[in-house]
Structure 1
Amino acid sequence: MEELTAPVDLGTPGGLLNPAAVAFSRTPLHRPVVPSGARGGWRTKRWEYWGILTPELAVGLTIAHLDYAATLQLYVFERSTGKEIRVDPLKLLPSYADISLPDTLPPLTAFGSFGGSSLRFHDADGGTRLTASSPRVSADLFAEADGDVLGVVVPWSGRRYQYTLKDVARRVSGTVTVDGREYSVGGEDSFAVLDRGRGRWPYSRRWNWGAGAGTVDGVRLGLQVGGKWTAGTPATENALIVDGRLHHYDGELEFQYDLADPASAWRVRGEWIDAVLTPFHRRVAATNAVVISARTWQAFGTWTGTARTPDGTEYALDGMGGWIEEARNRW
């Protein structure tokens, strides 16, 4: 797949895919303007997801607008106690007073506030400030921007396409408060991952997504793998980031896992990678609300294995924290 080196519009004013946007980038270069509502066929999806993993917590923060519905999601898993907290208000036919997900190049500010929860992601000062509040969970975090990202456009057709941006190895610091207990976040074993999405989707799609980060043998690594939803297109969302430098890979990967066994390992294999994530916890999330049906199995754990850069240099992934998932959506 070709690399994009200058800004480009994702779509045309009429909502068709711009063929020049079908490429990958190592900085955010796609201007993801897509039509919404009836003008867009009610298929436009926008979201900002931040996943945070620390020695004490797994955290997920989501702001999503699906045209005919919006959702805010706060998820926390306390690793020492096994306690899970899910806060996920859903609003049908939302207004843009409730939620904002700009179709612009960074820096940008995304926010959502309804159902007793508020989230705000604001780019400034060399990173992104992540704040969240709800009756049981609050967060005030800073995810430092440092190094390449992966931006890529997946084209299913001229009218159905997705821009995804994955930033998988950000250092993160701050605090998360869970039921009145404050956790300090920071250090080499804590990291944040951004998953940004803008596009016009088919009604039904299934995907795998995995991410990881850590310092192994003195090298700072970020791992990004995905599949199923990109099959049959020229695009992939597979990459290894080595000390801030992105290496993008064409070709689909093989994912092996057993959804019936929450403790079982997940394996990812391809020409450049052979890796296993061993879970310490698996989250299962489901939504069923009229026209929206979603189910996700997300395993948090530790990576082992190897990955190679295009020049043949092999890197051990042993000990990197991360997660991997299967998601099935009808939306």
Structure 2
Amino acid sequence: MIEREITERVALCRPDGRLNSEAVGWTRKPLHDTSGIGRGRYARARNKRWEYWNVTTPTHILALTISDISYAGVHEVWLFDRATGEVIGANAMAPFAVNTTLPGTLGQGPARAHAADLAIAIDEVEGGTRLRAITSRVRFDVLASRPPGHEAMGVVVPWSDRLFQYTVKDVARPAAGRLWVDGVRREVPEGSSWAVLDHGRGRWPYRVRWNWGAASGIVDGRRIGVQIGAKWTEGTGSTENALVVEGVVHKISEELTWTYHPGNWLAPWRMQGERADLTFTPFYHKSSRTCLGVVATEGHQCFGHYTGWMSESTGARVSVDGLTGWAEYVAQRW
């Protein structure tokens, strides 16, 4: 598979709202103007916009989601205590995404959500991205740093000129800050905490399935990030697979084979290809299921550790042994 690297700014959409063919490709830094999502009469109610951040620390896993799926805002703040296994989550659905703010283009403004028992704020600041969230039991304030020269894989996945997705998967961002659980302060320690962004802007089919995996950390003294995906990109000519070494993206333009066991989600997963051979061993399974008539979601997100290797653009193999991250399967009707 040959994927075109885009190196100059480009609009994702044409003036009529259809996909701009010049936008199809991948990038090392955000170059796509996605402000045209929502324009035109094509694929109404298919527009989906979101920011998902996950932060892994030695003691906790934190996550926040702000999303606008056209007819609703769907938001979440989630925390997992790695020592006790306690899970604290807060979810909210806002009709027509009321009190939801998302920038038209990544980095071009704040993101906000306020509904029910949660409030979320995401802001670009000097040196990185500030992540804040509060619920009745949990509060956190974390800086996801952006080291000089740090790259993030972006890619456009085209199903058609009416249905398409732009995603930025930014892995291995050093994180630091504080969190509070029931008023008790805990540290998000610098040097052993990592943030990952899933930024999405697009127009989706009604039914879709996907796999996504990511991991971050230090291996052999180098900052390593893993980004892999499957199912939703098949047949499009695009992939979302990449290895990040010391902030440099090494794009992997092949579909990986995922092997896992539905119904036994804590069994080891395998992800394999010519440039990757990974084993993922979960320690926690987060399951979610929603059915609201024509809208339904089934999700299985497992957190655990990766072993194996991925290859750089030169062909050199890079160990990912011991990286903490996740792998997931999601089926959507939306």
Partner of 1:27: 29
| Cα drift, residue 116 of structure 1 | 2.7
Q: Unaligned 5+ residue runs, structure 2?
A: none
Map 1:182-201; keep pairs closer than 5 Å: 182-201=185-204
CA distance in 2, matches of 1:78, 1:226: 26
CA distance in 1, matches of 2:9, 2:65: 26
CA distance in 2, matches of 1:287, 1:8: 36
Map 1:139-150; keep pairs closer than 5 Å: 139-146=140-147, 147-150=150-153
Preserved CA contact (<8 Å) 1:37 1:68: no
| Cα drift, residue 138 of structure 1 | 1.1
Partner of 2:227: 224
CA distance in 2, matches of 1:142, 1:249: 29
Map 1:165-314; keep pairs closer than 5 Å: 165-314=168-317
Preserved CA contact (<8 Å) 1:265 1:277: yes
Partner of 2:105: 104
Q: Secondary structure of 1:20's match?
A: helix
TM-score, normalisation: structure 1: 0.96
> Does residue 154 of the first structure (1) align with residue 160 of the second (2)?
no
Residues 163/59 of structure 1: CA separation in 2 closer, same or farther (3 Å cut):
same
| Cα drift, residue 40 of structure 1 | 4.7
Q: Secondary structure of 2:224's match?
A: strand
Worse-matched range after superposition: 147-156 or 214-223: 214-223
Preserved CA contact (<8 Å) 1:36 1:67: no
Counting matched residue pairs gives 329
Post-superposition CA distance 1:85-123 (Å, at most 9, x none): 12111122233xx01111124243111111131101000
Match of 1:53 among 27, 36, 56: 56
Q: Secondary structure of 2:321's match?
A: coil
CA distance in 2, matches of 1:218, 1:72: 36
TM-score, normalisation: structure 2: 0.95
Partner of 1:62: 65
CA distance in 2, matches of 1:165, 1:313: 25
Q: Secondary structure of 1:89's match?
A: strand
Preserved CA contact (<8 Å) 2:17 2:40: no
| Cα drift, residue 235 of structure 1 | 0.6
Preserved CA contact (<8 Å) 2:42 2:162: no
CA distance in 1, matches of 2:43, 2:117: 30
CA distance in 2, matches of 1:235, 1:172: 30
Preserved CA contact (<8 Å) 1:9 1:21: yes
Amino acid corresponding to residue 122 of structure 1 in structure 2: D
CA distance in 2, matches of 1:36, 1:238: 29
- Percent sequence identity over matched residues? 41
Q: Secondary structure of 2:236's match?
A: coil
CA distance in 1, matches of 2:290, 2:184: 28
Q: Secondary structure of 2:305's match?
A: strand
CA distance in 2, matches of 1:272, 1:101: 35
Q: Unaligned 5+ residue runs, structure 1?
A: none
Partner of 2:82: 79
Match of 1:3 among 5, 8, 18: 5
| Cα drift, residue 179 of structure 1 | 2.4
Q: Secondary structure of 1:80's match?
A: coil
Post-superposition CA distance 1:257-305 (Å, at most 9, x none): 1121232111110110101111111111122223321111111111111
> Does residue 317 of the first structure (1) align with residue 320 of the second (2)?
yes
Worse-matched range after superposition: 113-122 or 201-210: 113-122
CA distance in 1, matches of 2:39, 2:16: 11
